[in-house]
Amino acid sequence: AQSVTQPDIHITVSEGASLELRCNYSYGATPYLFWYVQSPGQGLQLLLKYFSGDTLVQGIKGFEAEFKRSQSSFNLRKPSVHWSDAAEYFCAVGEGGGFKTIFGAGTRLFVKA
């Protein structure tokens, strides 16, 4: 069965520092991969997605993610974090057929001044 693991429950970074959030997945075929962000009290918003092609994908708000098949990973990165990036981040994998998406448990990002 498909699964998504986000090893870090929470991460704290200083404003201006770089960020990498880890995501590992288990899926037999080529996965459809997503990163979503959830601000407090809000629904989830899509940051970026990978379906095929270039393994480095760019998203909104300056985020990017790299698909590494050999490591079954899809880590999210940002070169310089802003205080407004403080939120919870969810990695997700789309099941074949596209009707089901499996979400990781989330990583909460704290940004310190």
Partner 1 sequence: NAGVTQTPKFQVLKTGQSMTLQCAQDMNHNSMYWYRQDPGMGLRLIYYSASEGTTDKGEVPNGYNVSRLNKREFSLRLESAAPSQTSVYFCASSPGIFYEQYFGPGTRLTVT
Dist CA 17 CA 3 (whole Å)? 30
**Contacts of residue 28, Cβ cutoff 8 Å, sequence gap at least 6:** none
> Pattern of binders to partner 1 over 62-91, x per CB under 8 A?
----------------------------x-
Q: By C-beta, is 15 or 32 nearer to partner 1?
A: 32
b/e map 15-49, b = 16+ CB within 10 Å: eeeebebbbbbebeeebbbbbbbeeeeeebeebbb
Q: By C-beta, is 18 or 42 nearer to partner 1?
A: 42
- Tell me which residues in 9-68 interact with partner 1 (CB under 8 A): 9, 32, 34, 36, 41-46, 49, 51
Q: By C-beta, is 6 or 78 nearer to partner 1?
A: 6
Work out how close the CB of 14 gets to partner 1 at its nearest, in angstroms, rounded to a whole number.
26
Contacts with partner 1: how many residues (CB under 8 A)? Answer: 23
- Report the DSSP pairing between strands 32-38 and 87-94: antiparallel
Provide the binding-site residues for partner 1, judged by CB under 8 A. Answer: 4, 9, 32, 34, 36, 41-46, 49, 51, 90, 94, 98-101, 103-106
